[in-house]
Amino acid sequence: MIRKVNVVVSNAGQDDGIPTSILREISYLSFLYHENIQKIKEMEVDGEVVSIVAEQCDHNLKDFMKN
């Protein structure tokens, strides 16, 4: 799975760099190890876009909650 976050949109138009919420999420997910938590494989910053590559899951939360 690749999640792309536009830094300009996340910062509400401010030029503050990468939002702390994104940095915090990456930090937590890279150190947590549990069968129900996705593992981050790679992260890349390309201009105004932060791409987070994580392992593929068989199910998503929306479908899981329907059952």
- Residue 53 binned pLDDT confidence (cut-offs 50, 70, 90): very high
Quick one: what percent of the chain has pLDDT higher than 70? 88
**Residues 23, 15: Cα–Cα separation, whole Å:** 16
CATH number of 17's domain: 3.30.200.20
Region of poorest pLDDT, from 6-10, 42-46, 49-53, 62-66 = 6-10
Work out the burial of residue 38: count CB atoms within 10 Å of its CB; fewer than 13 is exposed, 13-18 middle, 19 or more buried: middle
How many CA atoms are closer than 13 Å to the CA of 62, on its beta-carbon side? 0
Residue 29: exposed, middle, or buried by beta-carbon count in 10 A (0-12, 13-18, 19+)? middle
For all residues of the chain together, what is the average pLDDT? 82
Question: Which domain does 59 fall in, by range?
Answer: 2-66
Number of domains in the chain: 1
Residue 15: its pLDDT value, please?
65
pLDDT tens-digit readout, 13-45: 566 678 788 888 888 888 888 887 888 889 898
